[in-house]
Structure 1
Amino acid sequence: MVNRSAALVLLALATALAAGCAGQPSNGTPVVHRPLFESTYSHDLVAPREPPPFVFEAVKDRPGYVRAHSYWKWNGQDFVFVPGEWIPAKPDYRYVDARWERHGDGWHFKPGYWLPQ
């Protein structure tokens, strides 16, 4: 009996999630349903064209630091080169460089970030 009750609760939750758990607000304003990953891309910097090729910078290792590689920044009209820089290393983390990703509405900029190892 407990398994059947748990299954019914899960079914009710799944139905509510699929329906969006939202109805019409009392003021008559329509509810806007957002795509699942909308928040992932809604605050992105989007360029209408592909960035220039990656610029390779010759550098030597620097103990205790990680190299954040150069990248191209979109200023609203054109791409601007941003040189790389040394940033202090974080134990048990690796640095992922800034990059551009192509999506249906243009090129999205993804800033660099630290990823736990």
Structure 2
Amino acid sequence: MLSTVGLLATACSTTVPPRARILYVAIPPPPDPVEIEGSAPSPVYVWVTGRYDWNGVEYVWIPGQWEPRPYDRAVWISGKWTQTRRGWIWVDGRWALGNRT
């Protein structure tokens, strides 16, 4: 019994994801290009906007795409580059509960 508890405690401690490292970029991101969304493949899809990613040398555009809602009434809140005293950092987009019209 005691060995089972120890094994369970060890298994639980390894499931915690490592803390994400914040990357500071000295150069501000360029303005986002205009994206043409087109039509959603079905009513359950939401447009997830494109974004600039930093590859260590320059910003690279990652185009937006249609993504299925993970749950009913989910809305996409776009990520953004935010300026801090140490440089620019990326704040991830996320799904949130919203009202569908």
TM-score above 0.5, yes or no: yes
- Residue 99 of structure 1 deviates from its aligned partner by 1.0
2:80 counterpart of 1:99:
yes
Q: Do the aligned residues in 2 keep the contact of 1:64 with 1:88 (CA within 8 Å)?
A: yes
- Residue 98 of structure 1 deviates from its aligned partner by 1.9
Flag the structure with more relative contact order, 1 or 2, with Cα contacts below 8 A and sequence separation at least 6: 2
Bigger proportion of residues as helix: 1
Q: Look at both structures and tell me which one has the larger radius of gyration over its CA atoms.
A: 1
Residue 88 of structure 2 aligns with an amino acid whose one-letter code is W
Q: Do the aligned residues in 2 keep the contact of 1:97 with 1:113 (CA within 8 Å)?
A: yes
Count of residue pairs brought into register by the alignment: 76
Tell me what 1:88 maps to: 68
SS in 2 for 1:47: coil
Equivalent residue runs for 1:1-117 within 5 Å: 43-62=21-40, 63-89=43-69, 90-117=71-98
Question: Which whole-Å CA distance do the structure 2 matches of 1:97 and 1:60 have between them?
Answer: 18
TM-score (ref. length: structure 2): 0.67
Tell me what 1:3 maps to: none
Residue 98 of structure 1 aligns with an amino acid whose one-letter code is G
Per-residue CA deviations over 1:19-53 (Å, capped at 9, x if unaligned) read xxxxxxxxxxxxxxxxxxxxxxx732321111010
Question: Which whole-Å CA distance do the structure 2 matches of 1:45 and 1:67 have between them?
Answer: 26
Identical aligned pairs, as a percentage? 28
Residue 99 of structure 1 aligns with an amino acid whose one-letter code is K
Q: CA-atom RMSD, angstroms?
A: 1.6
